[in-house]
Every structure is written in structure tokens, then in C-alpha cells.
Structure 1
Amino acid sequence: MSKLNGRQTNSDDILQNSSKTLLRHHNILHESDWLQNGTYTPFKKEKIDGLRAAMDYCNSPYKGQTSKEGDIIEGFKLRNVHVFIHHGDSTSNHRSDWFGPELFNCKFRTDNNTKFKQFPDHMDRMAGKQGIRNHFLNWALYPDKDLCADSMLTSKGALQHLMLGQSLFETYTLNKDLFNEKLSINSQVYVKSTSSSRVYQSTVAFLYGFLPKFNISNMKIENSPDLHFCTKQFAVQKSCYCKYANKLKIKSMKIQSKCKGYDAVEKKHSDIMKEVFGNGILPSDFAMAEAIMPLFCHDITIPCWLSLSDKNCEEFLSDIWSAVIAQERARYNDHNLYYLKYSSIVMTPILIEIINRIKNIVENRHTPKFILYSGQESTLSPLLYVFSLQDGKWPPYASRVVIELYEHLGNISKNRFFLRFLYNGKDKTDSVIFCKGLTFKGLCSLRYFTDFVFTKMLRRFGFNSYYDACSR
């Protein structure tokens, strides 16, 4: 028997009834009991502050950051850290006749931070030294162009990850026992990046901020062709392609497209939209928001400011972003759970890989102490959905999801390992679907995580396994 949250609980009974527990947590999250009787109540329809949400998405590197990572509880030792990051501030691949990425400056510049001032010169010296067989050989290491191109990391985007890397360096290397002092930190760090310039440059900026002596020739950044970091070793029949998962994603997108928020915006702001995007077929609200956000995040004037009041312009931007949030909520509120099913399938290989690395720690085998997965919104969103940490918004630029592994010292049983889950610096462990109400000193037993991934994550939807899901 163990005491959790002030009540006596039998751990074996919890595991045996974990399927029911998961369903109950979903009911609470959706504020309904539709999984049992078919009724359904959507997200609370509170008023959306689109302008506030847009500012949060920009995630200015100059605002104060919350950082609860590495807050070690007495009697526990930090053993392993997995970090998922979203690329930093970037230009869009959507444009109009009035504006394009050329409006932005992609020449790196910074404030008075001495280390960051040396960043461009250091990167220039490292250029082409990634290793002969490295996928990213001869890729640009940082934003160094006077004019930006489509989907390009900006100077602000690089600065976001430089500062994030430095913050986590202070968290995990100063007064912490995560790394073995007898070995170089580089040898204890493992990095994966998806195949995108803005993602790769975000990775490099993070590592420069995180590592005391960053030398790219000694740091292999492994390319991940898959957006969800699927490795063939942990996939089905050595393939990361899952046709059925893609079908679920398409169904989810159709649910979003039926959301009426965009129609209201088009009707209310048709003159502004035509001025910004021309008289042709207007882009979707997703594309429109992605096109306008870089302007908003960089305080660049858009056409409506030339002909309308600031209030009308702010209302236009707020309504566009509110429509995007409404679509995100429609995806969440879908009673068929298409996106959650999709997320559970595509995240299975990487979650199994994480468990495999943690197993090496548990069994005292060599494994990297710090693992970085660098991706984009389509990487982070499924992970947030699987953990039930989604908040109905796009993950902001330079967002991060962190999984920390702790060992309970003095406990010699097999159940001495625990996890902490954080999203953008905030401890979310008690909100994670398989940890809710079951934490011990704020941490979640490793057993709940492994049991969820191997026996509950897919079976709750009727899939016997990852192979079964992808064979549908």
C-alpha cells in the first residue's frame, strides 16, 4: 500500500484499472461522459482574447520566462532529461502581393550579451565542419542574410533558442548532478532535428546556448526525416509511414474546416482582407494567420494601419487569431477523437524510444543524459495531445516539452524511478492523463508511463498494437 494525495491506494489495483482511469480522465477533460453514453459537451465557450493569444504565440525573448525545470525534490536525484523544442520565430511560406519575407531581416543581431555577440563569428568558423557524412553538411548554421526567404528563421528566432539553451544550461549543469564531470558534456548529449532550415538553425542556436564549449564538429546532430522522430528501429516493418494515421489526420482537418469562425471574420473584415491579400481567392484562416503573425511579432505595419484606426486593425488581428483558436478547439472537441487517435499512433515509436533510453538508465547501461528533439508545431501538438496537455492554442515559437527522470534515493525497489513533465517551464505532471491524481511528491511513477505507452495508449481506441493501427 502507498499513500498518494493523502489517501491509501493499492498500486497494483491502479494499474489493473488504468484503462478505466484513462477514460475517466478524458471525461473530465472534455467535461462530459460521452465516452460512456454518447453525450458530448465541448470546451467551455469563454470569450477568446485573440490579441493576447497572438502575443503569447510570438513569445518575445525579452519577456520574463517561467522555468521550473530541474527543481529537485529532497531525496531524489535527476538522472535523465528529454527535451522537445519548437523552432523559433520565422517567416511564413504564405505571402501576398503586398508583403513577403523580404520585409524581414535575417541577419543575426543581439543585445549586450557577450556570449551571444560572439555567436555569428563562432558559427562562421564552424561552417562546413558538421562532418562529411552529416545530413546537414553545408547547411547554414544561423540566420546570416540581410533579406529573409520563405520559412526562414529570423534573428529573433535564433535569439529565442540561444536564451532557452542558456537557461537550461544553468538549470541542468550548475549545482546539479545530471552530467558526469569526468566526461565532456558533448558526449552526454544526443540531438535529433527534422529536415528544415529553421528547425536546424534553432537546434544549433539552442546548443550554442546550452553547451559551455560548442564545437559542431564534435556534436552530431542526427537528421529525422519523420516529423515525429520515428526511428525505423522502433517502427513497424522498418517503416515510419502509417497510412491509417494520415487518414485520421485528414478527417480531423475536415472537422476543423467546418468551424464557422473564419466565415465570420471574412464577412466582418472583407475590405481589409482584400487589401492585404488581393481580390483573388482568399487563403484559409490558418494560412492567413501564419502570413500575418510574423508582421505582428515584428511590429511591421500591415495595410489596414494605413487606412484604418489602430482599434480596427487590432480587432482584425484579434478576430483572425480567435478563428484559429476556434479551429483548434474544434479539433479538440471532436467526439470522434480523430486527432487524438492520430497523435497516439504517430507518437508511439518515439515514446517507445524514450522508454528504451530510460531503461538503460534504470539498468545502469550507458545512455545520453540529455536528449534534444528539435521540430515544429506539427511535432509538438501530437505530443501535447497524447499527454492531455493541449490548451487549444498553437504552441508558441520556441516552445518546449520536457520529461525529467528522477531516482528516489534510498529506495532499492524496481519502482524507485519517477517522471516530471513540463510545458514551457511550467510543471504539468499532475495534468498528464496517466499521472492525474496519482503523483508522489509531485512526481509520476515511471510505471504509469510505461504501462500507458505499451498497453493503454492505443488499446483505448481499439488498436491492439502500433502494427494493428497502421494496418487498418
Structure 2
Amino acid sequence: MPEKVANYCNDPILSEAGDEGEVPTDEYKLLSLNIIIRHGDRTPLHVIETKGVSTKSFRCYFDEHLIKNVPIIYDFTETMRQSKHAFESLETFKAFNFTTLFPDVMVCPPGVLTPLGAAQQLRNGLSLKNKYNKHNLLTESDFEKNVKIITTMYSRTFQSAIAFIYGFLPKFNLAKLNFEMRDMANMCKRNSKIKCDCPAVQKMENVFANSFEQTWTPHLLPMTDKHFYARVLERFNFNSNKPDPRPTPIWDFLVAHHCHNQTLDDCLLIDLHNHVNEHGVRMTKNGRYKKISILKMIPLLHEILNKLSYNEKMLLGQYRTKNLKRSVTVENNYDDDNGENAVPVKSNVNGVDEPATNHLPTVILYSGHDSTIEPIASSLGFADGHWPKYASRIVIEQYGKNSKNANNNNSSKSLLRILYNGKAVTHLTPFCRNVGDELQKFSLCPTSNFKTFVNEQLSGYRKDCHSMLVKRQNNLDGRERIR
């Protein structure tokens, strides 16, 4: 398997050790984690007729080879079967309208999580649990109240979250876990203060994929791409009676089969892979594309900031009793002062606010899509232009100085550390490039820097959502328009 494509497939049998949690515990205390994941390996979203090639169905159960090489699978499947009654009977899960907790049928239909995808998430969850054990963030006695799981409305993101959290938690009890479903890939919460209806984003919901597809216009392609386009037309038997092929479904179709050892056309796959990623690299250098990514993800970034601000103020000890009486949603939005007077309320699976104790989970898992991961990476400045691999993850760690090592200047301020697929990328963000040698040593950055960045982007959110919705060809890379 070509190396670049193999990286995208993300073989769950291979180790996935990263640098999460690699901060000295004698100097810093881990306060919270915000983990954003892409779902694991899935079946193709599209079925494309291929000339002279017989495509195969995708097996949707764990085989002996996978169980042998990812041992946690056996206990996982047994626990899931034991959890079936809770899954079917609890009101929490009825809104999800899903039938199974994990891939457990003979053949996978289109667009669902495969056993490979579940294994990827099990491995990632277990890997991060091992990384964070030394920080004592979760214990068996209180983990339920300290974890919240937010997923989109697709079974592949829900099942990915289940698999990841099973590997991550010290103990698994489905009935005690706090789930919430959101209906947008950018994880925007409908009843939050920031409106989700940004017209510029709605015209281009999957920013990365759509921007690529809009280059696929024959008379606008450079000569080298025209030859490639002609190969695609011939390979997939497209003619004047069929619509022109869009590259994203073809890429998705080819790579999905490739990840399951069903090679259809290696040469075309490699060429298409390079074509996709070359375009992606161009997009990361385009200011307009980055701005649209920010508009798409600023609701989630603001939500994360609110949680970080709450944790920092708890560290400061500045919450007064009278403020704890206010019914303001800290998990989803704050007052305009970014939470000076806000306290958390619990949200149910549909995101409806309910009365709750004054406690905010220390671990928030967001289970989304490539169209969640890539625009976050672009917004924060560490996107490399490559399509996010299956089971990609972004982790935002929040630390406070241990009291015995703290001084009067910084003991009450929290710090961030951002990682993408196990690699620290804090230094790549525009707000953390000049933080001093002491913080850069561990890829740390003041939370206040992130706060300034988010607030600056938020200040023009409503205006930009409309002003960037243009009718003329004010393009993204010289050819595309938003429409």
C-alpha cells in the first residue's frame, strides 16, 4: 500500500503513541481536556460504477485477525452486548435513532463505521488513557460526572465516540455517561448565544471538500490537470449522458476499497491522492479559505474557550456564591463577558438546558468528521492541507501551575497545549508563537492568548457571515467561487 494512502487508512494494528500528556506533573497540573475526533474508517458514501472492476461488499463484524491484533476488541464487544438493554431502554439514546452500539452485522451499508474504524478508536482511546494516567484526571469513583460526549447525528460518529470512550475510561458504564447530539458537522449548538446560521458557511458546508470540487471544471483546469481529468472520465466510463465526475466521491470510493485491501486502480488512486493534497496545500495558504474555516468553527472555539475560562476562574478562586445562583449555560455559552458570572447547567441529549449542579466535566469528547477536524486545524494555523486521516484527533490540554512551584505572577493563570494526531502544534498557532522559552519547552501557551484570538474573530462574526457571501467570482484559489 502506498505510504501516503496507508497513513490516511490508519491501520489500527499499528501503534499510535503520541505526545499527549508529556508535561511534567511536578510542575503542572492537568485541569481539563477537549478532544475532537474524526470518526474511524467507514464504507464509501457513494457507489460509483467502474468499468471492468467488480467491487466487493464490506464486512461489518470483527474477524479473528483483528481481534488477535487489537485484544481490547474482545472485552469491548462483550461489554457492548451487555449494554444493549441500557442502550435500547434509556431515554437518553432514543433521540439518536441508532440500532447498534458498534459494527455488528454481516455487511456494512454505505457511510457507516466499519470494524476497522471501531478498532482505530479503541486503540486511540486506550493510548490516551495510558498517556493521562499519571495526571490522575479521572478515577473510577467519579469519572461519570467528569466526562461529556458530544456527537453528530450519524451512527459512525456515535459509534466512534463509544469505542473511543471505552478505551479511554477506567471503567465503562453506558447508563451513567452523559451524551449530547448535535446536528451540524461544526458542532455548533442551536440554542447557544452564537447563531449557527452563517450564510457564507452554509453555502460551503464542507469547506475543504467543496473547495476542491469547485476546481473540477474542465475549461478552467491547467493542462496537466486536463490530462488527469481525461483519465478519470475514461476509467469510470463517464460520457455525455452522465454528469461530470466530482473528485471527492471518486477519491472516497477508491480509498475506502484500498483501506480494505480491495485495490481498484492504484495508479489513479495515487494520482488523485496527490491532486487532492496539492490543492489542500494551496488552500492552507489562502486567506479567504482560512477565514471561511474560522467562520465555520468559531462557535465551537468559543464554546471551548468558555470551558477553559471557567476552569481558569476556578483555579483563581474568583467565583462568588451569589454568582452561582445565575442560570447561565457555561457548557454552551457565557455572558458577553466570557463567563465572569456564569455557571454550568446540564444539557440533555437534544441540547435542552436542564438544572444541574455547579460542575463542569473535565473531559469533553467531540466526535465529528473530516469537515470538523480540517477547518479547526485551518482556523488555528496548523493545517497541512492533507485530508484528515480516519480517526484523526485534536487535543486541547489545559494546565495550571502546581502550587508548590507557582509564583505570584503566574500561579493563577492556566496554560494550553494543542496536539494534532499526537504531535504538539501549539507553536504553529498565530497566538502562541512568541511565548518565551520556558513555555515553548513544553509547547505551552497562556489561555489568555487563545481568548484574545477567539474574541477578535468573534467580534466580526455576524458581519463577515454576510459580507463574505458574494455573488461575483471573488475566488478562493483563483478559480472557485462560494455559492
**TM-score if structure 1 supplies the norm length?**
0.78
Q: Does 1:241 align with 2:241?
A: no
Q: Does 1:57 align with 2:8?
A: yes
Q: Does 1:117 align with 2:66?
A: no
2:33 counterpart residue number: 81
1:19 counterpart residue number: none
1:291 counterpart residue number: 253
Pairing 1:47-446 to 2, within 5 Å after superposition? 51-73=2-24, 74-98=26-50, 103-109=57-63, 110-112=66-68, 113-130=70-87, 131-134=90-93, 135-136=95-96, 138-172=98-132, 174-179=133-138, 181=139, 183-236=141-194, 239-247=195-203, 252=211, 256-257=215-216, 260=222, 262-268=225-231, 270-274=233-237, 280-302=242-264, 313-334=265-286, 337-364=287-314, 366-409=359-402, 410-413=406-409, 416-439=413-436, 440=439, 441=441, 442-446=443-447
Once the 2 structures are TM-superposed, how far is the Cα of residue 378 of structure 1 from its aligned partner? 0.6
Native 8 Å contact 2:198 2:462 kept in 1: no
Once the 2 structures are TM-superposed, how far is the Cα of residue 426 of structure 1 from its aligned partner? 0.5
Query: Against the structure 1 CA distance between its residues 78 and 101, is the aligned structure 2 distance closer, same or farther, given a 3 Å change threshold?
Result: farther
Once the 2 structures are TM-superposed, how far is the Cα of residue 282 of structure 1 from its aligned partner? 4.8
Letter in 1 for 2:80: M
Partners in 2 of 1:343 and 1:259 — Cα distance? 24
**TM-score if structure 2 supplies the norm length?**
0.76
Native 8 Å contact 2:312 2:413 kept in 1: no
Identify which range, 441-450 or 375-384, moves more after superposition: 441-450
1:305 counterpart residue number: none
Once the 2 structures are TM-superposed, how far is the Cα of residue 129 of structure 1 from its aligned partner? 1.9
Once the 2 structures are TM-superposed, how far is the Cα of residue 83 of structure 1 from its aligned partner? 0.5
Query: Against the structure 1 CA distance between its residues 209 and 182, is the aligned structure 2 distance closer, same or farther, given a 3 Å change threshold?
Result: closer
Q: Please list the CA deviations of residues 227-265 of structure 1 after superposition, one character each: whole Å capped at 9, or x if unmatched.
A: 1111245444xx422113334668945764455465332
Report the identity percentage.
29
Native 8 Å contact 1:285 1:323 kept in 2: no
Query: Against the structure 1 CA distance between its residues 84 and 262, is the aligned structure 2 distance closer, same or farther, given a 3 Å change threshold?
Result: farther
2:317 counterpart residue number: none
Once the 2 structures are TM-superposed, how far is the Cα of residue 53 of structure 1 from its aligned partner? 2.3
Partners in 2 of 1:301 and 1:51 — Cα distance? 11
Query: Against the structure 1 CA distance between its residues 159 and 278, is the aligned structure 2 distance closer, same or farther, given a 3 Å change threshold?
Result: farther
Partners in 1 of 2:230 and 2:184 — Cα distance? 39
Partners in 1 of 2:256 and 2:166 — Cα distance? 25
Identify which range, 401-410 or 94-103, moves more after superposition: 94-103
Once the 2 structures are TM-superposed, how far is the Cα of residue 178 of structure 1 from its aligned partner? 1.9
Native 8 Å contact 1:101 1:149 kept in 2: no
Query: Against the structure 1 CA distance between its residues 100 and 219, is the aligned structure 2 distance closer, same or farther, given a 3 Å change threshold?
Result: farther
Once the 2 structures are TM-superposed, how far is the Cα of residue 149 of structure 1 from its aligned partner? 0.6
Partners in 2 of 1:423 and 1:450 — Cα distance? 20
Count of residues in Structure 1 that have an aligned counterpart in Structure 2: 400
Q: Please list the CA deviations of residues 204-227 of structure 1 after superposition, one character each: whole Å capped at 9, or x if unmatched.
A: 111111123212111122101121
Query: Against the structure 1 CA distance between its residues 259 and 90, is the aligned structure 2 distance closer, same or farther, given a 3 Å change threshold?
Result: farther
Identify which range, 427-436 or 124-133, moves more after superposition: 124-133
The SS at the match of 2:415 is strand
2:330 counterpart residue number: none
Partners in 2 of 1:231 and 1:363 — Cα distance? 23
Identify which range, 293-302 or 187-196, moves more after superposition: 293-302
Alignment counterpart, residue 470 of structure 1, candidates 465, 469, 478: 465
The SS at the match of 2:450 is helix
Native 8 Å contact 1:256 1:328 kept in 2: no
Partners in 1 of 2:466 and 2:113 — Cα distance? 38
The alignment's C-alpha RMSD in Å is: 2.7
Query: Against the structure 1 CA distance between its residues 430 and 218, is the aligned structure 2 distance closer, same or farther, given a 3 Å change threshold?
Result: same
The SS at the match of 1:91 is coil
Native 8 Å contact 1:259 1:327 kept in 2: no
Partners in 2 of 1:60 and 1:246 — Cα distance? 34
Query: Against the structure 1 CA distance between its residues 385 and 136, is the aligned structure 2 distance closer, same or farther, given a 3 Å change threshold?
Result: same
Letter in 2 for 1:265: F
Q: Please list the CA deviations of residues 388-412 of structure 1 after superposition, one character each: whole Å capped at 9, or x if unmatched.
A: 1111110000000000001123134
Partners in 1 of 2:125 and 2:277 — Cα distance? 29
The SS at the match of 1:317 is helix
Native 8 Å contact 1:186 1:211 kept in 2: no
Once the 2 structures are TM-superposed, how far is the Cα of residue 271 of structure 1 from its aligned partner? 4.2
